[in-house]
Amino acid sequence: MTASLLPVATLGTPRIGPRRELKFALESFWAGTSDEKSLLETAAALRAANWARQKSLGVSVIPSNDFSLYDQVLDTSVMVGAIPDIYGWKGGRVSLATYFAMARGAEGKAHDDGCAHGHHHDQVQGAPAQEMTKWFDTNYHYMVPEFHRDQVFQLASRKPIEEYEEAKSLGYQTRPVLIGPVTFLKLGKSADPAFNPLTLLDGLLQVYVEVLRELSKCGAEWIQIDEPCLVLDLDDATRAALRHTYAEIAANVPGIKIMLATYFGALADNLETALSLPVAGLHVDLARAPEQLDALIAKISKDIVVSLGMIDGRNVWRADLTAMLDRLDFAVKNLGRERIQIAPSCSLLHVPIDLELEDHLDLDVKSWLAFSVQKISELATLSRALTMGRESVVDALAEADQAAVARETSTKIHNADLARRVTAIDEAMRRRGSPFAERVRVQRASFGLPAFPTTTIGSFPQTAEVRNARAAHTRGTLSDTQYREFLRQETARTVRWQEEIGLDVLVHGEFERNDMVQYFGEQLSGFTFTKHGWVQSYGSRYVRPPILFGDVTRPQPMTVEWWRYAQSLTDKPMKAMLTGPVTILNWSFVRDDIPRSEACRQIALAIRDEVIDLEKAGARMIQIDEAALREGLPLRRAGWKAYLDWTVDSFRLCSSAVDDTTQIHTHMCYSEFNDIIDAIAAMDADVISIETSRSKMELLDAFKSYKYPNEIGPGVYDIHSPRVPAPEEMKQLLTLARQRLSDSQLWVNPDCGLKTRKWEEVRPALINMVAAARELR
């Protein structure tokens, strides 16, 4: 009977291991405490366990080459020999040393440097790491390929072939996964801005054809080629490149069947292009874009296998299986059973591995969730229901129905008082008392700061001592009183030191905070946290995103007490530090039963209450970080305005309840500001600090041409690097800033929080920063 079950496919699964085995193996190898052999053995064991787990859960189309030691885009760069000269590769097989130099920088000094927000740009003596950026609109980061005009591609790693053969030797017929050539070129960059990487396509295709031929020879029947660029706004040249690519593959590797995978959005105006390609199968994302099913059914040719991405591969909610079956019945009726596969919407890389590991979650909340293992089981249930009738899975469907109903009505999720409060939001709540031109006069008179005032972004180094104390407190070996006393001493020492070196506006250092989102989520209702819900951010850096499951309220003040203590230690202004609503939202798994904009507005009201309480306690400078505002932008331009409208609205809602004399600061991580400068101006923060040191202040051009009126702190110290810049270097950066903005607008600060740096780097760097500002005065 099972032989004819509707095929269940996965596009990729988490590679980190249920207990983070990959992280510990990598870090041990990098530290020199284990050798290459044991790292590769751990990797092979993880792959074998992954294949076995999928088979036992009912997956019939199992992927291979979805595993990576660091990143799948880096694997592709290495496969095609796109290895910049700086890494000293001379051809032949690429060594692990070269691979990790590209990932982390070379010379043994390499270590993952992230700013407080988990961005990462290693700078090491010798060869720096490749640049890293977000994979589409996810919170996963990939290593950006580098291309140049006379780029020569060659097969430099047989990883896809080796992992296919490895699976085969264990008894699994897999579908190898490759990143599509067009997406790969579009994800890359060139030092020459006028150069278009798509001109390299023909050379690249030769390597792809070679890989596909080898896979075919080894017995692979189907290959999954991922072209998520098909959900972006594409120009005609890119569409032509896609047609050329798949025509070449069809002509040169006739025996192989291609499953073209698209995900993270709708094909929309690229549907015709996708349907014109000579491929055997097409995967579409019906979690992000359920509306595209009808158009697909109407237009797809009769001989193409359709992979329906039903289960959301990017969020952690249990599926409503009955509703899904109704939609699948419609698809089966119109497409025919023999040409359908069911799958998650995208790779399951973006969700945690197994909900069963969580033994402390609220049981109701747990019953509404599904991680990777559970999502695969849901697909298996759908497959059985479609093949053998719903009565064959009656218990599983009843359980899913029950969870859906409970979630819809639970008082743990829905708060009537909050609903009334949201309805009552009016225009006045989103507007400061006076325009900036009037506020700035009052603020300058009130603070009496010198020209080029100096400050930092908020966090100070979280040393091993700080982390150990937190761990001891979590374990219960350090009492509440002892931990609190430890934190007070750390804070007092940091405040005193800032005074000694002459900073104008101080911060308390944030030693009590584990993470800029988790710290707030743990104090707000509507959030829950996992113990093992790790997801890969990049390389060996994994995060456990908060799960936002219900209405968000703030039961009591979250930061007032620490701010009050820090301010009591000094006469200088002490900034209060908050994480903004958009960043809290974008770095969490967000409930899917209300629009994201609505969830964001709820968080904004909670932060607004905190801002009001801080002002009542005497805080006159309040910083609300929106590190992740830009990275949440929709993949297509058409969606930008709506997103920026509600995100700016949420920021104004949380920041506008204060007096004219209270100065609202915000901080944004490395971003291109040109295309969102209107939105930044609309936020109406009194002071914005931004990361600019690496761009040599070029990011300020956007503010200059816009005639941005409010105050700006352009970063003059790159905190992603252990290097300590000299006062002269910072002065040069400030001189560049002064060419773009008026002196009265400028603040002087580092690029980002200092949480990940060491005190021995931070001390001299900040002393130099203060010296540079004084010289300018």
* Share of residues in the chain with pLDDT > 70 (%): 97
Phi-psi region of 29 (alpha: psi -120 to 50; beta: other; left: phi over 0): alpha
Are the C-beta atoms of 204 and 153 separated by less than 8 Å?
Answer: yes
Q: What integer is the mean pLDDT of 630-642?
A: 95
CA distances from 347 to 280, 283, 309, 454 (A): 20, 12, 10, 45
Are the C-beta atoms of 317 and 287 separated by less than 8 Å?
Answer: no
Q: What integer is the mean pLDDT of 125-144?
A: 88
pLDDT at 124: 31
pLDDT in tens, 145-160: 999 999 999 999 999 9
Are the C-beta atoms of 183 and 228 separated by less than 8 Å?
Answer: yes
Give CA–CA dist 445/463, Å, rounded: 38
pLDDT at 168: 98
Residue 570 pLDDT exceeds 80? yes
pLDDT at 631: 87
Q: What integer is the mean pLDDT of 364-369?
A: 98
pLDDT in tens, 660-686: 999 999 999 866 788 899 999 999 999
**Running DSSP on this structure, what letter comes out for residue 416?**
H
Question: Helices 759-776 and 480-501 sit at what angle, rounded to 10 degrees?
Answer: 30
pLDDT at 671: 67
pLDDT at 113: 38
pLDDT at 449: 97
> Closest by alpha carbon to 122, among 137, 107, 134?
107
pLDDT in tens, 390-420: 999 999 999 999 999 999 999 999 999 999 9
pLDDT at 121: 34
pLDDT at 606: 98
Is residue 106 very low, low, confident or very high in pLDDT (cuts 50, 70, 90)? confident
pLDDT at 107: 66
Q: What integer is the mean pLDDT of 312-341?
A: 96
pLDDT in tens, 468-514: 999 999 999 999 999 999 999 999 999 999 999 999 999 999 999 98
pLDDT at 309: 98
pLDDT in tens, 215-261: 999 999 999 999 999 999 999 999 999 999 999 999 999 999 999 99
pLDDT in tens, 2-18: 448 999 999 999 999 99
Contacts of residue 82, Cβ cutoff 8 Å, sequence gap at least 6:
76, 145, 146, 147, 151, 153, 188
Averaged pLDDT score across all residues of the chain: 94
Residue 39 pLDDT exceeds 80? yes
CA distances from 419 to 425, 570, 649, 652 (A): 10, 41, 18, 19
Is residue 635 very low, low, confident or very high in pLDDT (cuts 50, 70, 90)? very high
Residue 594 pLDDT exceeds 70? yes
Give CA–CA dist 104/108, Å, rounded: 10
Enumerate the active-site residues. Answer: 720
Question: Helices 759-776 and 727-738 sit at what angle, rounded to 10 degrees?
Answer: 50
Q: What integer is the mean pLDDT of 697-723?
A: 89
87-94: long-range contacts, CB 8 A cutoff, minimum separation 24: 87/127, 88/127, 89/156, 91/154, 91/156, 92/156, 93/156, 93/157, 94/156, 94/157
pLDDT at 120: 36
Q: What integer is the mean pLDDT of 199-205?
A: 98
Please tell me whether the overall predicted TM-score, pTM, comes out greater than 0.85 for this model. yes
Residue 122 pLDDT exceeds 80? no
